[in-house]
Structure 1
Amino acid sequence: MRTLTYHEAIPGHHYQLALIQEMQDLPRFRRDRIFGANSANAEGWALYAEQLATEHGWYEGDIPGLLGQLDAELFRAQRLVADTGLHAMRWTRQQAIDYGIPPHEVDRYTVIPGQACSYKIGQLKFLELRAKARAALGDRFDLKQFHNTVLRAGVVPLSVLETIVDDWIATTLAPAARPA
């Protein structure tokens, strides 16, 4: 349940979406997520939030919680295979169910091709951007500022998010480049 809480609540979807809705300086179409709620950005953030919990020791001393987190990771790997199997390998619904995916999940992947993959693609992009910022900024890298930057962007395409992070990196480095 803790993993689900990190994904759906804090620091996951609820936190991300509540913050977006409160930002009056963000254009309304972005506050209202006109480009979709099941994007690689929104779901990627939620998976990234789950990983933050692991990275920062939030499961320390909680073996059942850690096992739940590992079980969620295993399920995510299974559904990547099932989503790909259904759409690229022409699996039947029953083959995906036999692979271990509940029928209601198989139905979701059938009508939303690539949705399961979008979660992982988004998470990997958040991790890539964080590593890029950390490498570029060195000691000036601030995880909280990175999170503020990606969250305050709203739910945008990943290419737009990368541009926003690149701009943040450049702005953060700019004072160091100015002569004293």
Structure 2
Amino acid sequence: MNKIKEYIEFIPKNETPAAMPEGIAVKYYVCWPDEPEEITPDNCQKILKNLRDGRWGNIYLTNNPDLEEDIMELESGDGLFALQYLRDNSGMVGEQAAWFSTYDPEYLDSDEETDIECSDGQSVICRKYTTADKDAVMTAIEYFLRTGKLWDGIPWMKGWREWEDES
């Protein structure tokens, strides 16, 4: 019989993080409950400014407007930021379906919940998946928007599930 086992790996930040490139690699953004909107050179700076100024507490960035794969998601509130990247949102198993999240090392052994009001109106974010480093989060979002890749100037917690044989 098989069962699913969850794996966690910590990816430290690079002491010399990647520089911010020009251009736009991600096509859509969603601020719930609105529909996906295209990211253009004209609205890119407005999107980033709204996030940095705290006007938007949540956003999804993706090339797939159905939010099925390669999604960066921000949920924030009360000075905390939960930034997550999902390779595959279809429930797949295996490292190709890994998720990456910010984390707070002081809360890794805790299931303490935050007061962040999630955009879906029902999810709960545990404190261990958050950071208070707003500048790093905003830079990671901009880097993802411009490259479609994770910025290496922030530490990431990587998680995935694998089928394990119980015999």
- TM-score category by the smaller chain? under 0.3
Between 1 and 2, higher relative CO (CA 8 Å, sep ≥ 6) is seen in 2
Looking at secondary structure, tell me which structure has more helix per residue. 1
Which one has a bigger Cα radius of gyration? 1
Name the TM-score, length of structure 1 as normaliser: 0.26
TM-score, normalization by structure 2 = 0.27
Structure with the higher fraction of residues in strand conformation:
2
